Amino acid sequence: MTYQDYDRLLSFDSVHHAIKAEKILSDAGIPAYALPTPRQIDISCGQCLLFAAAQENKLLSLLTGHKVRWAKLFSRVPAGNGTYIYEKINDYGG
């Protein structure tokens, strides 16, 4: 699976939490792709993670257990020509 196939995006309020999340997910064997946060959805800390919707519950549970604070969760759908449509699913409720 490539990052183009990932259909969830998680934004963060701090780079520290984004980096921590990436490490935790890597250690747990959950595929995720770090990239700059698209401007059209959130400024936040500037870094986000892409992942597959099938991993959403496991991923969020793991981050909660490690006290990683994320900002917003979005769905991500290809819109053609290398662009995507993002729809907010949830805000952090920690």
User: What averages of pLDDT result for each successive group of 10 residues across the chain (94 residues)?
Assistant: 87 94 97 91 84 97 96 95 93 80
Spell out the CATH class of 3-91.
Answer: alpha beta
Q: Residue 7: its pLDDT value, please?
A: 97
Q: What is the DSSP string of 36-92?
A: EPPTTT--TTSEEEEE-GGGHHHHHHHHHHTT----EEEEEEEEETTEEEEEEEEE-
Q: Residue 4: its pLDDT value, please?
A: 80
Q: Alpha carbon of 10 to those of 15, 22, 81, 85: distances in Å?
A: 13, 11, 22, 14
- End-to-end Cα, the chain, rounded Å: 30
Q: Residue 94: its pLDDT value, please?
A: 63
Q: Residue 45: its pLDDT value, please?
A: 79
Find out whether 37 and 15 touch, Cβ atoms under 8 Å: no
Write down the domain spans for the chain.
3-91
